[in-house]
Amino acid sequence: MLGKWHLGYFSPLFLPTARGFDTWIGYANGENYYWSKRSPDYPEFVDFIESTKDCYWTYSEDDRHEYSTTFYTNKALTILDEHPATDPLFLYLSYQAVHDPFVDYGKFRTGMPDSYLEDSILEKIHSDIKGRQRQEYVKSLYMLDKAVGQIYDKINEKGLMDNTYIIFMSDNGGCFYGGGKNGPLRGSKGTLFEGGIKVDSFVYSPKLQNPGTIYSGLMHVSDWFPTMLALASISYEPDEDHTLDGVNQVPGWQDIASAPRSSMLYNMYLALTDYDFDIWYNGSFAVRDNRFKLMHTYDDPDYGAWYTPTDEIDGDDDLESDNRCAQQFVTGTFTYWLFDLDADPYETTNLYDSTDETYVDAKEKLYQLLPGYEARSKTKISIHWAKSANKYWQENGGILPWADTDNLVNGADADYPVYCPSEATRRERGLEEERKNFS
């Protein structure tokens, strides 16, 4: 694995190499600076880890300050070059592009240098794109597109394409504060409107039937796991305590009549420690079937708006804005919604209070799905910023797992990597250069 993990640095039990991956280089927080690899949330610390199944440490090789899209691409190309062509390979490459912030310390305070792009591309961006945030977003996207092309070319060069699946997807809609605009879909990242949830995705392989098919069935992120197992002809049966939420989507791709999903949960706040959520006054949720979508969430005039690529947004020239797109920032009147997505894919008309029998029945059926989701939910323990983390990171020179693993539930029986003192010399050398470049 390479890139963004975003499942935390509380414990090494949560690192990718404790969850099935053999190696990982990347960051565990939600965002990072592209060059310095420091965390915007805790900018005094580097969030950049290298890990094997046995060992982890702060990454400090000479290439660590490369622009991250280039860095991860080069690492991926090396993996493809060095991995034996006869051995199976799963490469999960989670680019931080096109996530903001697009600025960094020193010479990158104004964003990506012009030298990164061809003159013709740069000229087109400056002439066609309004707003500096939007321009930096488009630059980041262009670099991502080139990177995907390089990886595709390498797979072909190695003669592996005939036995490879390339799966590309985004994780959420764009953030209007960070240059992302999802129009004509409604809403921004951080909302449960379609603009915040519905994303681009494709699968490419010579092994696929009916190439060029556009799939119109419902698909949830949890479906990727059983779908990839099916594509790789891997049989897997979870134990009774760990039934899968996802379904194999391959039959639906081959014949829409065989689409495996008839409903889908977007979000539901349940069983969270330290929080008091109720779906009737502050607990945002959304659920849908093939036609209708039921949702309780805030009617925020900013996050719930329609943003097209040509829209200019207040503050779009502020490259160092602290504004973010996340559910905790969405405010307004807590509202109940029902949309007919077949007739109204851009969510312009709220049908919740309609007395039409079709809509009343649709609403009732969707409400009836909620107890099933609640029964299968698990308690999420919220872990907040702690003084012990700050102390540990200062002592060890970066954002690393900080919990005392001896005190973790099942920690003694789990298989997880440990912090490697043998890497201390490399780390100290890297930290000294950090102080020179980004003090």
- pLDDT per residue as tens, the chain (439 positions): 999 999 888 889 889 999 999 999 999 999 999 999 999 989 999 999 999 999 999 999 999 999 999 999 999 999 999 999 999 999 999 999 999 999 999 999 999 999 999 999 999 999 999 999 999 999 999 999 999 999 999 999 999 999 999 999 999 999 999 999 999 999 999 999 999 999 989 999 999 988 899 999 999 999 999 999 999 999 998 888 788 899 999 999 999 999 999 999 999 988 677 778 899 999 999 999 999 999 999 999 999 999 988 888 887 888 888 888 988 899 999 999 999 999 999 999 999 999 999 999 999 999 999 999 988 887 777 667 678 888 999 988 889 998 876 666 555 567 889 898 665 545 554 555 554 555 4
Q: Write out the two tokens for 434.
A: 């950090």
On the CB side of 386, CA atoms within 13 Å amount to 12
pLDDT at res. 411: 55
Which residue in the block uniquely carries the two structure tokens 């899209």?
Answer: 69
What is the model's pLDDT at position 84?
94
pLDDT of residue 422: 63
Domain limits, the chain: 1-164+382-439
| CA of residue 341 relative to chain centroid, distance | 25
Q: Provide the pLDDT for residue 348.
A: 98
For residues 193 and 300, what is the distance between their CA atoms, to the nearest angstrom? Answer: 11
pLDDT (0 to 100) of residue 400 = 93
Instruction: Quote the pLDDT of residue 423.
Output: 58
Indicate the burial class of 193 (C-beta count within 10 angstroms; 0-12, 13-18, 19 or more): buried
**Contact by Cβ (8 Å): 138, 131:** no
Q: Look at residue 10 in the predicted model and tell me its pLDDT.
A: 87
AA letter at 161 = M
> In sequence order, what are the beta bridge partners of 339?
293
Dist CA 230 CA 194 (whole Å): 28
Cβ pair 81, 89 in contact under 8 A: no
Do residues 59 and 25 lie in contact, with contact meaning Cβ atoms separated by under 8 Å? yes
Residue 292, token pair as written in the block: 């209708």
Count of alpha carbons within 13 Å of 211, Cβ hemisphere only?
A: 6
Q: Is the dihedral of CA 208, 212, 217, 220 positive or negative?
A: positive
The residue among 270, 288, 264, 271 whose CA lies nearest residue 337 is: 288
Output the six-digit token pair for 294: 């039921």
Burial class of 147 by CB neighbour count within 10 A (0 to 12, 13 to 18, 19+): buried
Phi, psi of 140 (to 5 degrees): -60, -40
- Three-state secondary structure of the chain: CEEECCCCCCCHHHCHHHCCCCEEEEECCCCCCCCCCECCCCCCCECCEEEECCEEEECCCCCCCCCHHHHHHHHHHHHHHHCCCCCCCCCCEECCCCCCCCCCCHHHCCCCCHHHCCHHHHHHHHHHCCCHHHHHHHHHHHHHHHHHHHHHHHHHHCCCHHHCCEEEECCCCCCHHHCCCCCCCECCCCCCCHHHHCCCEEEECCCCCCCCCCCCCCCCHHHHHHHHHHHCCCCCCCCHHHCCCCCCCHHHHHCHHHCCCCEEEEEECCCECCCCCCCCCCCCEEEEECCEEEEEEEECCCCCCECCCCCCCCCCCCCCCCCCCCHHHCCCEEEEEEEECCCCCCCCCCCCCCCCHHHHHHHHHHHCCHHHHHHCCCCECCCCCCHHHHHHHHHHCCCCCCCCHHHCCCHHHCCCCEECHHHHHHHHHHHHHHHHHHC
The two three-digit tokens of residue 386, written as one number: 């702690």
Give the pLDDT of residue 379. 73
Q: Give the largest Cα separation in the chain, rounded.
A: 71
**What CATH number is given for 1-164+382-439 in this structure?**
3.40.720.10
Q: Please enumerate in sequence order all residues whose Cβ is within 8 A of that of 266, keeping only pairs 6 or more positions apart, or say none.
A: 192, 197, 285, 286, 287, 288, 295
**pTM confidence score:** 0.92
